[in-house]
Each structure stands twice: as structure tokens, then as C-alpha cells.
A and B are shown apart, each in its own frame.
Chain A
Amino acid sequence: DVKVTQSSRYLVKRTGEKVFLECVQDMDHENMFWYRQDPGLGLRLIYFSYDVKMKEKGDIPEGYSVSREKKERFSLILESASTNQTSMYLCASITSGGGTDTQYFGPGTRLTVL
């Protein structure tokens, strides 16, 4: 089974702090995604990476950046956390074949920004 782990299940930070959310996968996947999940809004794609040091913006990249220094690790960075970034953050590692993606999600990090 694909295993995707996230560094924290729950995190509380203050406005203006720099926040790092880490995601690690053990299946040698090239593609990894970061989403946020909010009630009534479903999952929204923040950033994705299709190789080491490669990244692309998703639908809502504002206020976020990412880092992919090693294949197994994809980090989401909030340079200066704000209260509207309080959310559930989900990382996914992707198997791709035949033009389609199948996503394997981590357990999520519930971030609260005070």
C-alpha cells in the first residue's frame, strides 16, 4: 500500500508566523499535490509538483509556496500565516498512467491560525 504521511495532525500558529507543512511518500511517485479543504468548498488545489525542484500553481496558490528538494518529500510553506489560512491541509501522492491520475492522500493537517 502507498503510504503518505504528514508531519502534524494538528497545528496552532499565530498570525504572521512562518509555517511549514511536510508530506512524505514512500512509493517513489513523481507527482505530489497540496490541497486545502474547507466546509462547503470541498478540496481546492494549492500547488503541485511533478518532479524534484519542479512545481506549478494550482487554483489557489496565493499566500503559499512549496519546496520539493527530494522526490519523497513535498513541503507547503505559509510565509506569513493569516487567519484565513485556517483549514485542513491534505497532501496527495499520485500514480499516473494512461493519462489519468490516482491520488493517495495523507491523513491531513488541521491548521489553526490565531
Chain B
Amino acid sequence: LAKTTQPISMDSYEGQEVNITCSHNNIATNDYITWYQQFPSQGPRFIIQGYKTKVTNEVASLFIPADRKSSTLSLPRVSLSDTAVYYCLVGTPRDTGRRALTFGSGTRLQVQP
């Protein structure tokens, strides 16, 4: 299983760009990376997913370098409502014959006014 490591917490201010990095040194060739957001007393919510290079959607961007040993979630111009815990997940595709999912311990992002 690809073990993931994230910073425990980060602080930011409204309007700033926030980058949260996840390390996954032993990621396998076909593994993919997904990021989730979790608010207190709720289940995690999907943010973005990718295999390599850069993926962007209406909420965030995901940067994955060529060696894929890390990935960075980028949140543009955060607001107070982005205060949450962000999880990095490395998943093994089902067609490899084995399904494995490894969540990181999460990064608690606190956005200040």
C-alpha cells in the first residue's frame, strides 16, 4: 500500500491561494490520487482526482510531478468556508486485480478573515 503523508495543519487568510502537499513515495505505476474535503460532523466530499501532470476543475487544481511521489492540491482564493480537513487518497485501480485505498491522516486548514 502506498503510504501517504500530509502536514497536520495549515493556516491561511481569505483571498490567498493555499497549496497542500501529500507525499506518497511508494505509489505504484497505475495508482491514482484523489483529494477529499471534510467538514465537522460530515462525511468527506470529493474535490479532484488525477494520475499525472495537472488537473483543474471549478474548485481546485491538482499538480502531480513526473515522479508522482507527491501531489499538491491548490485552492485558489480561499474563503472562510474552505476551513476543513483535506485528505489525500492513493487508490489502486480495480483492474490490477487488487483494490487498495490509503487515506492520509488529513490536513486541517484554518482560514482566517
A residues near B (Cβ < 8 Å) are 4, 33, 35, 40-45, 48, 50, 56, 58-59, 90-92, 96, 99-108
Contacts and interface: CB of A to CB of B under 8 A. Distances in A.
Contact of A44 (B46, B93, B94, B103): B103
Interface of B: 1, 30, 32, 34, 36, 41-46, 49, 87, 91, 93-95, 99, 101, 103-106
Contacts of B93: 99-100
A50 to B, nearest CB: 8
A89 B32 CA distance: 24
A43 B87 contact: yes
A4 B43 contact: yes
Q: Is chain A's interface secondary structure helix, strand, loop, or mixed overall?
A: strand
B43 A108 contact: yes
Contact of A108 (B32, B41, B103, B104): B41
Given A96-B94, A99-B32, A99-B95, A106 B43 contact: yes
Contacts of B45: 105
Contacts of B105: 40-42
25 contacts: A35-B103, A42-B104, A43-B44, A45-B101, A50-B94, A58-B101, A90-B43, A91-B43, A92-B43, A99-B30, A99-B93, A99-B95, A100-B91, A100-B93, A101-B34, A102-B49, A103-B34, A103-B36, A103-B46, A104-B46, A105-B42, A106-B43, A107-B43, A108-B42, A108-B43
Contacts of A43: 44, 87, 103
A107 B91 contact: no
Contacts of A33: 101
Given A99-B30, A100-B91, A42 B101 contact: no
Contacts of B94: 50, 96, 99, 101
